[in-house]
Amino acid sequence: MLVDCHVHLNNYTQNPGRPTKENVDELFAKMAEHGVDHAVVLTSYKADVDRPSAEQILEILADDPRTTVVEGLRWRSEARTDLFHMEERLRDGIVKGIKLYPGYDKYPINDPSLETVFRIAAKYDAPVMIHCGDTYAKDAKVRMAHPLLVDDVAVDYPDVKFVICHLGNPWFQDTAEVLYKNDNVYADISGLTLGDFDYEFERYMVTRVKDMITYMGDPGSQLLYGSDWPLVGMGRYIKFLHNLDLPDDVKDNIAWRTTAKLFKLKLPGAPPL
């Protein structure tokens, strides 16, 4: 069983203007090719021709059992998320979580304006995924996305479950500390490279992740498999998970079980949780 907790249906530089339906078809083709049973689709902090809104994504995916949608918060952009409608979608189980894009969307993780968002997340037990660490965009503010700031919100909102995306790359040690300290914080291993790993860089990342695991203890209860497809190659990223060389039960937890529990996924054919 394999669940990818972090994929996108945006267009990036290589295919501007591509209809979202084509991206969806490609996602399902890649999942089938690489044996990915389920994918969590994260919508963007912007809505434009290359970044479909949560509403558009929900319409195109039409409750496909292979996918779960997590709604990207549009907070500082021109067309902000309507929290009333987001709350309805969470209440109805149409979206299963909220994704924050601090740094890109020009607010820090511990911005007081997010209180309403976190209260909604607590009310519906909806995980809050947070882009943490390096921002590929030069006009984003990376300090605002530092994983150490997740400690602030994890302490202030103990009823909310937070996911540090990308292990907070390159602040792995800070992420390990925040995970070790807070049981309501998780982290996904997505997006640690762009495209496919080369050998040297993959060895580097495997070492970083192993160091984190040594520090934080049981990785299976807090780490989640995610790729960041299409920014990374799905097949090569699955190989990265295997190259971490973890015991089978720990690997299974990272590969699907912890994500399934966190998002309360119904996975056809999955063994009992």
Binding span for Zn ion by CB under 5 A among 149-157, 192-200, 223-231, 263-271: 223-231
Within residues 157-176, the interface with Zn ion by CB under 5 A covers none
What is the smallest separation between the CB atom of 217 and Zn ion, expressed in angstroms?
A: 26
Residue 54 or 87 with smaller CB distance to Zn ion = 54
What is the smallest separation between the CB atom of 192 and Zn ion, expressed in angstroms?
A: 11
d(CA 160, CA 156): 9
Residue 40 burial class via C-beta count within 10 angstroms: exposed 0-12, middle 13-18, buried 19 and up: buried
What is the smallest separation between the CB atom of 11 and Zn ion, expressed in angstroms?
A: 14
Residue in the block written with tokens 């970083």: 208
Other beta carbons less than 10 A from residue 109's beta carbon: 25
Strand stretches in the chain, DSSP E: 3-7, 38-42, 67-72, 97-100, 128-131, 162-165, 185-188, 223-224
What is the smallest separation between the CB atom of 231 and Zn ion, expressed in angstroms?
A: 7
Q: What are phi and psi of 204, to 5 degrees?
A: -60, -50
What is the smallest separation between the CB atom of 8 and Zn ion, expressed in angstroms?
A: 6
Residue 111 or 228 with smaller CB distance to Zn ion = 228
Are residues 241 and 189 in contact, defined by beta-carbon separation less than 8 angstroms? yes
Per-residue b/e over 214-227, b at no fewer than 16 CB within 10 Å?
Answer: eebeebbbbbbbbb
Are residues 10 and 46 in contact, defined by beta-carbon separation less than 8 angstroms? no
Locate 248 and state its tokens.
């089978």
Binding span for Zn ion by CB under 5 A among 137-145, 175-183, 227-235, 264-272: 227-235
Residue 71 or 228 with smaller CB distance to Zn ion = 228
Locate 251 and state its tokens.
């690997």
What is the smallest separation between the CB atom of 266 and Zn ion, expressed in angstroms?
A: 24
Within residues 44-73, the interface with Zn ion by CB under 5 A covers none
Residue 8 or 89 with smaller CB distance to Zn ion = 8
By CB under 5 A, tell whether 4 contacts Zn ion: no
Are residues 128 and 100 in contact, defined by beta-carbon separation less than 8 angstroms? yes
Residue 220 or 230 with smaller CB distance to Zn ion = 230
Q: Which residues contact 58 (CB under 8 A, 6 or more apart)?
A: 69, 89, 94, 95
- Total residues in contact with Zn ion, by rule CB under 5 A: 1
Binding span for Zn ion by CB under 5 A among 88-96, 167-175, 178-186, 222-230: 222-230
Binding span for Zn ion by CB under 5 A among 95-103, 220-228, 233-241, 255-263: 220-228
Among residues 68, 222, 228, 267, which is the contact residue for Zn ion, using CB under 5 A? Answer: 228
Which residue has the closest beta carbon to Zn ion? 228
Binding span for Zn ion by CB under 5 A among 11-19, 67-75, 197-205, 224-232: 224-232
Give residues in contact with Zn ion (CB under 5 A).
228
